[in-house]
Amino acid sequence: MNIQNPETGYHYNVMRRAIDLIDQGGESLSLEDLARQMDMSPAHFQRLFSRWTGVSPKRYQQYLTLGHAKALLRERFTTLETAHNVGLSGSGRLHDLFLKWESMSPGEYARKGEGLVIYWGWFDCPFGPALVMGTDKGICGMAFGAETGAEAAMDDMMSRWPNAHFVEDTERLRPWALSAFGPDRSQLTPLHLIGSPLQIKVWEALMHIPSGQVTTYSEIAQRVGAPKAVRAVGTAVGRNPVSWVIPCHRALRKSGGLGGYHWGLPVKRAMLAFEAAQADA
Protein backbone atom coordinates (compact mmCIF):
# COMPACT_ATOMS: atom_id res chain seq x y z
CA MET A 1 0.00 0.00 0.00
CA ASN A 2 2.96 2.35 0.37
CA ILE A 3 3.44 5.11 -2.19
CA GLN A 4 7.04 6.18 -1.67
CA ASN A 5 8.58 3.84 0.89
CA PRO A 6 7.57 1.90 4.01
CA GLU A 7 8.56 4.77 6.31
CA THR A 8 6.27 7.51 4.96
CA GLY A 9 3.74 7.16 7.79
CA TYR A 10 6.55 7.13 10.35
CA HIS A 11 8.01 10.32 8.89
CA TYR A 12 4.68 12.15 9.25
CA ASN A 13 4.44 11.05 12.89
CA VAL A 14 7.95 12.41 13.54
CA MET A 15 7.07 15.77 11.94
CA ARG A 16 3.76 15.84 13.83
CA ARG A 17 5.65 15.42 17.11
CA ALA A 18 8.15 18.09 16.08
CA ILE A 19 5.28 20.54 15.41
CA ASP A 20 3.93 19.94 18.95
CA LEU A 21 7.37 20.48 20.52
CA ILE A 22 7.97 23.66 18.52
CA ASP A 23 4.55 24.99 19.59
CA GLN A 24 5.36 24.25 23.23
CA GLY A 25 8.93 25.52 23.11
CA GLY A 26 8.45 28.61 21.00
CA GLU A 27 9.71 29.40 17.56
CA SER A 28 13.22 30.13 18.89
CA LEU A 29 13.69 26.46 19.78
CA SER A 30 17.02 25.46 18.25
CA LEU A 31 17.47 22.47 16.01
CA GLU A 32 19.75 20.93 18.65
CA ASP A 33 17.15 21.37 21.42
CA LEU A 34 14.36 20.07 19.19
CA ALA A 35 16.36 16.97 18.26
CA ARG A 36 17.30 16.35 21.89
CA GLN A 37 13.66 16.50 23.01
CA MET A 38 12.87 13.94 20.32
CA ASP A 39 15.71 11.68 21.54
CA MET A 40 17.59 12.14 18.28
CA SER A 41 20.85 13.72 17.21
CA PRO A 42 20.46 16.87 15.08
CA ALA A 43 22.03 14.98 12.16
CA HIS A 44 19.48 12.17 12.47
CA PHE A 45 16.55 14.61 12.55
CA GLN A 46 17.95 16.34 9.45
CA ARG A 47 18.26 13.01 7.66
CA LEU A 48 14.65 12.12 8.52
CA PHE A 49 13.41 15.51 7.29
CA SER A 50 15.38 15.06 4.06
CA ARG A 51 13.93 11.59 3.51
CA TRP A 52 10.43 12.92 4.19
CA THR A 53 10.60 15.77 1.66
CA GLY A 54 12.91 14.04 -0.81
CA VAL A 55 15.31 17.02 -0.75
CA SER A 56 17.93 18.46 1.59
CA PRO A 57 16.14 21.53 2.98
CA LYS A 58 17.93 24.64 4.21
CA ARG A 59 15.98 25.66 7.28
CA TYR A 60 14.57 22.44 8.76
CA GLN A 61 12.48 23.21 11.83
CA GLN A 62 11.60 26.76 10.69
CA TYR A 63 9.28 25.21 8.11
CA LEU A 64 7.25 23.63 10.90
CA THR A 65 6.62 26.74 13.00
CA LEU A 66 3.21 28.34 13.34
CA GLY A 67 4.67 31.60 11.99
CA HIS A 68 5.73 29.89 8.78
CA ALA A 69 2.33 30.59 7.21
CA LYS A 70 2.76 34.33 7.78
CA ALA A 71 6.20 34.20 6.17
CA LEU A 72 4.74 32.38 3.17
CA LEU A 73 2.02 35.00 2.81
CA ARG A 74 4.60 37.78 2.96
CA GLU A 75 7.18 36.19 0.67
CA ARG A 76 5.27 33.81 -1.61
CA PHE A 77 1.80 35.22 -2.11
CA THR A 78 0.41 34.48 -5.55
CA THR A 79 -2.41 36.30 -7.27
CA LEU A 80 -4.83 34.31 -9.37
CA GLU A 81 -5.63 37.08 -11.85
CA THR A 82 -3.46 35.56 -14.57
CA ALA A 83 -4.88 32.06 -14.24
CA HIS A 84 -6.60 30.83 -17.38
CA ASN A 85 -10.36 30.64 -17.48
CA VAL A 86 -11.54 27.04 -17.36
CA GLY A 87 -14.94 25.51 -17.96
CA LEU A 88 -16.40 22.16 -16.96
CA SER A 89 -13.31 20.35 -18.16
CA GLY A 90 -9.70 21.10 -18.88
CA SER A 91 -6.17 19.83 -18.78
CA GLY A 92 -2.63 21.09 -18.61
CA ARG A 93 0.52 21.13 -16.58
CA LEU A 94 -0.41 23.20 -13.54
CA HIS A 95 2.90 23.99 -11.86
CA ASP A 96 4.13 20.71 -10.35
CA LEU A 97 1.32 18.44 -11.47
CA PHE A 98 -0.06 17.41 -14.84
CA LEU A 99 -3.83 17.30 -14.42
CA LYS A 100 -6.85 16.46 -16.47
CA TRP A 101 -10.21 17.19 -14.92
CA GLU A 102 -13.83 16.73 -15.75
CA SER A 103 -16.78 18.02 -13.73
CA MET A 104 -20.20 16.53 -13.20
CA SER A 105 -23.13 18.50 -14.55
CA PRO A 106 -25.30 20.24 -11.92
CA GLY A 107 -28.03 17.66 -12.56
CA GLU A 108 -25.65 14.75 -11.92
CA TYR A 109 -24.39 16.46 -8.78
CA ALA A 110 -27.95 16.87 -7.48
CA ARG A 111 -28.44 13.09 -7.64
CA LYS A 112 -25.74 12.70 -4.94
CA GLY A 113 -23.86 9.93 -6.69
CA GLU A 114 -26.83 7.88 -7.80
CA GLY A 115 -25.76 5.37 -10.46
CA LEU A 116 -22.08 6.08 -9.76
CA VAL A 117 -19.52 3.42 -8.75
CA ILE A 118 -16.79 4.91 -6.54
CA TYR A 119 -13.68 2.82 -5.87
CA TRP A 120 -11.66 3.39 -2.71
CA GLY A 121 -8.41 2.33 -1.06
CA TRP A 122 -5.98 3.38 1.67
CA PHE A 123 -2.36 4.31 0.93
CA ASP A 124 0.60 5.48 3.02
CA CYS A 125 1.84 8.93 1.98
CA PRO A 126 4.04 11.71 3.42
CA PHE A 127 1.07 12.94 5.48
CA GLY A 128 0.05 9.65 7.05
CA PRO A 129 -2.70 7.34 5.81
CA ALA A 130 -4.49 8.68 2.72
CA LEU A 131 -7.92 7.54 1.53
CA VAL A 132 -8.13 7.76 -2.26
CA MET A 133 -11.46 7.47 -4.08
CA GLY A 134 -12.13 7.43 -7.80
CA THR A 135 -14.68 6.80 -10.51
CA ASP A 136 -13.93 5.40 -13.97
CA LYS A 137 -13.03 8.97 -14.99
CA GLY A 138 -10.51 9.84 -12.29
CA ILE A 139 -9.87 10.66 -8.63
CA CYS A 140 -12.96 12.14 -6.99
CA GLY A 141 -11.88 12.04 -3.35
CA MET A 142 -8.77 12.21 -1.19
CA ALA A 143 -8.81 12.32 2.60
CA PHE A 144 -6.22 12.05 5.37
CA GLY A 145 -6.81 10.01 8.50
CA ALA A 146 -3.81 10.86 10.71
CA GLU A 147 -5.73 13.37 12.83
CA THR A 148 -9.37 12.36 12.31
CA GLY A 149 -8.99 8.58 12.29
CA ALA A 150 -9.64 6.25 9.37
CA GLU A 151 -13.28 5.50 10.19
CA ALA A 152 -14.24 9.17 10.49
CA ALA A 153 -12.47 10.01 7.22
CA MET A 154 -14.25 7.17 5.43
CA ASP A 155 -17.66 8.16 6.81
CA ASP A 156 -17.05 11.80 5.86
CA MET A 157 -16.20 10.98 2.25
CA MET A 158 -19.05 8.49 1.77
CA SER A 159 -21.56 11.02 3.12
CA ARG A 160 -20.72 13.40 0.25
CA TRP A 161 -22.16 11.00 -2.34
CA PRO A 162 -24.63 8.94 -0.26
CA ASN A 163 -26.35 7.35 -3.26
CA ALA A 164 -23.16 6.01 -4.87
CA HIS A 165 -22.03 2.38 -4.75
CA PHE A 166 -18.63 2.10 -3.01
CA VAL A 167 -16.19 -0.68 -3.90
CA GLU A 168 -12.78 -1.29 -2.31
CA ASP A 169 -10.16 -1.63 -5.08
CA THR A 170 -6.69 -0.47 -4.07
CA GLU A 171 -4.94 -1.87 -7.14
CA ARG A 172 -7.24 0.02 -9.50
CA LEU A 173 -6.40 3.29 -7.77
CA ARG A 174 -2.67 2.70 -7.24
CA PRO A 175 -1.46 4.34 -10.51
CA TRP A 176 -3.43 7.50 -9.72
CA ALA A 177 -2.18 7.54 -6.12
CA LEU A 178 1.39 7.17 -7.43
CA SER A 179 0.91 10.11 -9.78
CA ALA A 180 -0.38 12.25 -6.90
CA PHE A 181 2.21 11.33 -4.24
CA GLY A 182 5.08 9.60 -6.00
CA PRO A 183 8.47 11.11 -6.79
CA ASP A 184 7.60 11.44 -10.50
CA ARG A 185 4.63 13.80 -10.57
CA SER A 186 4.79 14.32 -14.34
CA GLN A 187 2.34 11.47 -14.95
CA LEU A 188 -1.21 12.48 -15.81
CA THR A 189 -3.52 12.65 -12.78
CA PRO A 190 -7.16 12.53 -13.89
CA LEU A 191 -9.75 14.14 -11.63
CA HIS A 192 -13.52 13.74 -11.61
CA LEU A 193 -14.89 16.75 -9.75
CA ILE A 194 -18.26 16.25 -8.07
CA GLY A 195 -19.61 19.50 -6.61
CA SER A 196 -21.85 22.52 -7.05
CA PRO A 197 -21.01 25.09 -9.76
CA LEU A 198 -19.48 27.50 -7.19
CA GLN A 199 -17.47 24.71 -5.60
CA ILE A 200 -16.09 23.64 -9.00
CA LYS A 201 -15.05 27.24 -9.75
CA VAL A 202 -13.26 27.52 -6.40
CA TRP A 203 -11.52 24.17 -6.76
CA GLU A 204 -10.32 25.07 -10.25
CA ALA A 205 -8.91 28.35 -8.87
CA LEU A 206 -7.06 26.42 -6.17
CA MET A 207 -5.36 24.29 -8.83
CA HIS A 208 -3.66 27.42 -10.17
CA ILE A 209 -1.73 28.13 -6.94
CA PRO A 210 1.88 27.00 -7.47
CA SER A 211 3.49 24.54 -5.07
CA GLY A 212 5.44 26.37 -2.37
CA GLN A 213 3.23 29.46 -2.70
CA VAL A 214 0.01 30.52 -0.99
CA THR A 215 -2.96 32.81 -1.52
CA THR A 216 -5.87 34.10 0.54
CA TYR A 217 -9.56 33.24 0.70
CA SER A 218 -10.40 36.79 -0.42
CA GLU A 219 -8.09 36.46 -3.44
CA ILE A 220 -9.88 33.26 -4.45
CA ALA A 221 -13.26 34.98 -4.04
CA GLN A 222 -12.04 37.77 -6.34
CA ARG A 223 -10.80 35.22 -8.88
CA VAL A 224 -14.12 33.37 -9.12
CA GLY A 225 -16.11 36.59 -9.51
CA ALA A 226 -17.59 36.63 -6.01
CA PRO A 227 -15.51 39.22 -4.11
CA LYS A 228 -18.20 39.77 -1.45
CA ALA A 229 -18.75 36.05 -0.86
CA VAL A 230 -15.52 35.28 1.01
CA ARG A 231 -17.34 33.16 3.58
CA ALA A 232 -19.09 31.05 0.92
CA VAL A 233 -15.79 30.66 -0.88
CA GLY A 234 -14.12 29.60 2.36
CA THR A 235 -16.81 26.96 2.81
CA ALA A 236 -16.21 25.71 -0.74
CA VAL A 237 -12.48 25.51 -0.04
CA GLY A 238 -13.24 23.48 3.09
CA ARG A 239 -15.46 21.11 1.09
CA ASN A 240 -12.71 20.33 -1.42
CA PRO A 241 -13.01 16.55 -1.87
CA VAL A 242 -9.55 15.95 -3.36
CA SER A 243 -7.19 17.40 -0.75
CA TRP A 244 -3.49 17.77 -1.67
CA VAL A 245 -4.07 17.40 -5.44
CA ILE A 246 -6.52 20.31 -5.31
CA PRO A 247 -4.32 22.31 -2.91
CA CYS A 248 -6.76 23.87 -0.44
CA HIS A 249 -3.88 23.79 2.09
CA ARG A 250 -2.37 26.74 0.17
CA ALA A 251 -5.29 29.03 1.11
CA LEU A 252 -4.67 31.25 4.15
CA ARG A 253 -6.39 34.12 5.93
CA LYS A 254 -5.34 37.66 5.03
CA SER A 255 -3.81 37.98 8.50
CA GLY A 256 -1.48 35.06 7.83
CA GLY A 257 -3.56 32.78 10.02
CA LEU A 258 -3.84 29.22 8.83
CA GLY A 259 -7.63 29.28 8.68
CA GLY A 260 -9.13 25.83 8.92
CA TYR A 261 -8.27 22.48 7.42
CA HIS A 262 -10.78 19.70 7.12
CA TRP A 263 -8.31 16.91 7.97
CA GLY A 264 -6.61 18.72 10.86
CA LEU A 265 -4.33 21.77 11.01
CA PRO A 266 -1.20 19.67 11.72
CA VAL A 267 -1.68 18.02 8.31
CA LYS A 268 -1.99 21.47 6.64
CA ARG A 269 1.17 22.66 8.38
CA ALA A 270 3.02 19.52 7.34
CA MET A 271 1.93 19.98 3.71
CA LEU A 272 3.07 23.63 3.66
CA ALA A 273 6.40 22.67 5.27
CA PHE A 274 6.88 19.82 2.80
CA GLU A 275 6.30 22.05 -0.23
CA ALA A 276 8.30 25.01 1.08
CA ALA A 277 11.31 22.79 1.78
CA GLN A 278 11.14 21.40 -1.77
CA ALA A 279 10.77 24.89 -3.25
CA ASP A 280 13.82 26.15 -1.33
CA ALA A 281 16.04 23.20 -2.22
| CA-wise closest residue to 256 among 58, 29, 77 | 77
Which residue in the list 237, 248, 252, 276 is annotated as catalytic?
A: 248
CA distance 225 to 205: 11
CA distance 19 to 5: 22
98, 107 Cβ separation under 8 angstroms? no
What are 139's strand-pairing partners? 134, 191
> What CA–CA distances, in Å, run from 52 to 62, 67, 105, 181, 253?
15, 21, 39, 12, 27
Annotated active-site residue 248? The verdict is yes
- Catalytically annotated residues: 248
